[in-house]
């Protein structure tokens, strides 16, 4: 068994296919979450999913290229609250648990998500 220090985050999340499955679950969690689902009401969900998969793959160390805007440009003017941010992070953690991602890897993803807070909340 590989340890988190010898296997990339990309590999531990299941590479492209695993990240795609996790992302679908994450989006389903968002759509079922009354505190954040309105943010997606007018969105092209196929585009959202495609960009999210690119973002997570590239951010986890995969070879995929992220073709979307940076986090600050994406969220600027949305006035996302701390409560919404926490709900999105909770939805992500639930998606990782659903796909049986180990606790150490979930904690690594959690730290990455929290590091993005300043580029998402109230910008």
pLDDT tens column, 1-47:
455 557 999 999 999 999 999 999 999 999 999 999 999 888 999 99
Q: Return the pLDDT at 41.
A: 85
Q: What is the DSSP string of 21-53?
A: HHHHHHHHHHHH-TTTGGGGTTS-HHHHHHHHH
Q: Return the pLDDT at 6.
A: 72
> Encoding tokens for residue 111?
């730290």
* Secondary structure of residue 80 in the 3-state scheme: strand
* Residue 76 to residues 41, 69, 120, Cα–Cα distance (Å): 18, 11, 7
* Beta strand residue intervals within the chain, DSSP E: none
Superfamily of domain 11-119: Globins (1.10.490.10)
Model's pTM, two decimal places? 0.91
């Amino acid at each position: 068994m590989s340890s988190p220090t010898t296997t990339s985050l990309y590999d531990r999340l299941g590479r492209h296919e695993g990240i795609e499955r996790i992302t679908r679950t994450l989006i389903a969690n968002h759509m079922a979450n009354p505190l954040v689902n309105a943010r997606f009401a007018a969105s092209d969900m196929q585009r959202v999913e495609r960009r999210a998969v690119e973002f997570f793959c590239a951010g986890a160390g995969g070879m995929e290229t992220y073709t979307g805007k940076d986090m600050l440009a994406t969220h600027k003017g949305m006035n996302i609250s701390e409560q919404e941010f926490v709900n999105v992070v909770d939805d992500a953690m639930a998606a990782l648990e659903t796909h049986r991602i180990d606790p150490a890897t979930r904690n690594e993803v959690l730290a990455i998500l929290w590091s993005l807070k300043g580029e998402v909340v109230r910008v």
